[in-house]
Amino acid sequence: MTEADNITSRVSGIVKWFDPVKGFGFVVADVGGPDILLHVNVLRNYGQSSVADGAHIDLAVQTTDRGVQATEVLSIRPPETPQGAALEDFATMDASVVASAPLEPARVKWFDKGKGFGFANVFGRSADVFLHVEVLRRSGLSDLQPGEALALRVVDGKRGKMAAEVFAWEAALHKEDAE
């Protein structure tokens, strides 16, 4: 390894794929070059355990003997074109209703990516909040683990409370500071 290998640089790109079960994925840099390894531990240091395919991501990277690897996640933005059909509940909802909903602290009760949904508990509330996989994708996430800390924008859906936006807890703290 040379001295140049220890130099960290900033790169923007798109998540090619990320598998939370395997614990890694790859990012394609906007400027081209080899795929960048994104390890789950680097993502967890940012406060997330998953990231949606196609999400825009800013990273600190380092070249090693094994290729280019992310050393820090600097920011994540959801994919520009969400995958899948729009949720029926949001089809007629005014975007300002979602934007005006406060961020609320929550924990994942359970989430099954295969089924495409799960539930969370908002601190201080007894009713479960429905989490749909499409809302996760729009929020830049791909999967959730039981007990994971989140911040949600909760709205009234046709069948009860549902998350309209989902943020990793740490990312939500930074978002609130910026607003």
> Using one digit for the tens of pLDDT, what is the confidence trace for 51-106?
888 889 999 999 988 899 999 999 998 887 544 444 666 666 677 777 888 889 99
* Cβ neighbourhood burial of 150 (10 Å; 0-12, 13-18, 19+): buried
Tell me the C-alpha to C-alpha distance, in Å, between residue 48 and each of 23, 52, 62, 140.
Answer: 12, 11, 21, 10
**Which single residue is written with the structure tokens 């996430």?**
141
Domains of the chain plus CATH, in order, are 3-77 (2.40.50.140), 88-178 (2.40.50.140)
Q: Is the pLDDT of residue 177 over 60?
A: no
DSSP 92-152: T--HHHHHHSPEEEEEEEEEETTTTEEEEEETT--SEEEEEHHHHHHTT-----TT-EEEE
Kindly state the average pLDDT of the residues 16-26. 89
Nearest to 168 by CA among 103, 111, 124: 103
Residue 21 pLDDT class (50, 70, 90 cuts) = confident
- Tens digits of residue pLDDT in 131-147: 988 888 888 888 888 99
Q: Chain centroid to CA 120: how far?
A: 16
- Across all residues in the chain, what is the average pLDDT? 83
Tell me the C-alpha to C-alpha distance, in Å, between residue 18 and each of 24, 28, 40, 52, 167.
Answer: 6, 12, 9, 7, 17
Task: Please tell me the predicted confidence (pLDDT) of residue 175.
Answer: 56
Rounded Cα distance, 65 and 129, in Å: 45
Rounded Cα distance, 122 and 28, in Å: 35
Rounded Cα distance, 59 and 76, in Å: 9
